[in-house]
Amino acid sequence: MLNPETRPSLIVRLSDQQDQSAWWSFVELYEPFLKHLVARQGVPPAHQGDVVQQVLVAIAGSVSGWKDDGGDASFRRWVNRVARNVVIKFMTRQRRQISGQGGSDALARMDQHPDRIDPAIESQYRHELIVWASGRVRAEFAETSWIAFWATMIEGRDVAEVAESIGVSTGSIYMSRSRIVRRIRETIDEVLQ
């Protein structure tokens, strides 16, 4: 559905640590991605929030040095690398404090592909972006339209079955879905352009 990129103007604005609007936008966009990332890298659930905070602090401290390498998802790969380094430091500290209770396997896995974004993480990022945008546009649509959209597009239920269950035509579901998807795309584009 989407191939989102972080808008360059947002990245530039992040260099100014006083630009709270830019940071709120960044955190809103990236926090779900970072939570999933640190979870996949083996950070225990009890520590994931703290590690995400550490990643955000690390990004704030080094974003002014980020340079676009011209490749796909350059900024996200950089964010991934920063997060990976924070997780390695966290795991190393944990291993020192709790000797003999694991963490080595996760460190070894992370060292195998330092700059590659895991396709599952990329997919999760897109999913989180769509969920985020959906939350922002939901109030713009009638409840019946939203239920029809969610049931057929997100849950994958049959359009005819959903139409019958909520008492609307299949044509109205297709029209509602189209309008909602367009608004979601527009919302994501507004943030990422």
- The pLDDT of residue 66 is 83
The CATH label, of 1.10.3470, 1.10.3210, 2.60.40, 1.10.10, for the domain at 141-192 is 1.10.10
φ, ψ (nearest 5 deg) of residue 113? -140, 75
pTM of the predicted model as reported, rounded to 2 decimal places: 0.56
DSSP labels for 70-129?
Answer: SSTTHHHHHHHHHHHHHHHHHHHHHHHHSTTS--HHHHHHHHHSTTPPPHHHHHHHHHHH
Q: What is the mean pLDDT of residues 20-47?
A: 85
For residues 76 and 120, the model is more confident at: 76
- CATH code given to domain 1-98: 1.10.1740.10
- The pLDDT of residue 2 is 42
Average pLDDT of the chain is 81
Type of residue at 192:
L
8 A C-beta contact, residue 141 and residue 149: yes
State the Cα–Cα distance between residues 62 and 82, nearest whole angstrom.
9
For residues 53 and 94, the model is more confident at: 53
Q: Is pLDDT at 103 greater than 80 in this prediction?
A: no
